[in-house]
Structure 1
Amino acid sequence: MLQNIKYILIKLKLIQPSAQDIHKWTKAKQAEKLEYVLEHGNYKTRKLAAEALGEIGYSSSIPILFRAINDNVHNVSIAALNALEMIGCTDELGTTIINKRFNWVKNKREKEAKREANKNKKYKIYVWERSSKKSFERVKEQLKRPMR
């Protein structure tokens, strides 16, 4: 009874579910509550809900997990990808999207690691002379010489 009242308060957006609530819903295999939290929760609960949906493994939550891939928080999108992989999304579109997204995440992490590695590296910057400055200096030298 208390859990139902708490879920109503969550739906009214008065409170956010805790990790314990998500854990209880995972044990009870209440996918509809987890799907709601994945769509409307804060970033921590969205991540936990995506992981929980992967543990439950219902194929009915695949469309919601596909929408969660485009989440602004990268941890949520990665959790959704992992959940889709755990569920075993076997259609061609699903595997293509999962592979491309995992490659994107891998490339992003490699770029960040490369940036961190080159953070303290010092570069030599050469100062090039402007051609207009050179021609001005040449004209000054010519004016100093006597005319013939």
Structure 2
Amino acid sequence: MKLIQPSENTIMDWRDVNAVDKIEYALKHGNYKTRQLAAEALEQIGRPSSIPILLNAMNDKIQKVSIAALNALEALGCNDDLVISITRKRFNWVKELRDKEENRKVKKDKKHNIYRWKRASKESFDRVKEQLKKPMR
């Protein structure tokens, strides 16, 4: 198989003819968009033989690819306790990332009350003025 990145239409054609081996190859060796599309295609095909490759794709560096792989694993409805616990933990990780991003946005949009502080030069000037009013000894 060539290392050319297949287009979205090509992956959808592979999905329609159930070319699982080509889609799995694209999931392993494609760019991030191709990997995401391949995981979504495997979800729609729904073959349990794709579970090991989807488990590897679940740990992808790109968050969208790992989420697509998680969705595919959930759609396959694997009854294995290990797979269920792994996907549950991974979904919790994704939820934590989304919560952190939401909190970051909230903190960014929050208006801060900035109080006007006294300038040191004005304060020292007033102190010198007061000392000059006092009689010298």
TM range (shorter): 0.7 to 0.9
Match of residue 10, structure 2, among 11, 14, 21: 21
User: In the TM superposition, what is the alpha-carbon distance from 1:26 to its structure 2 partner?
Assistant: 0.4
Alignment RMSD, CA only?
A: 1.6
Task: Name the residue aligned to 1:43.
Answer: 32
Looking at structure 1, the residues matched to 55 and 5 of structure 2 have their Cα atoms a distance apart, in angstroms, of: 23
- Determine which of 55, 78, 84 is the counterpart of 1:66: 55
Name 2:2's counterpart in structure 1.
Answer: 12
| Identity across matched positions, percent | 54
Which amino acid counterpart does residue 22 of structure 2 have in structure 1? K
For structure 1, list consecutive stretches of 5 or more residues without a partner in the other structure.
1-10, 126-148
TM-score w.r.t. length of structure 1: 0.73
Q: What is the total number of aligned residue pairs between the two structures?
A: 115
Runs of 4+ in 1 over 6 A off after TM superposition: none
Cα distance between partner residues in 2 of 1:65 and 1:123: 49
Alpha-carbon spacing, 1:123–1:115, altered in 2? closer, same or farther (3 Å): farther
1:34 to 9, 12, 23: 23
Where does residue 75 of structure 1 map in the other structure? 64
**TM norm structure 2:** 0.79
Gapped runs of 5+ residues in structure 2?
Answer: 116-137
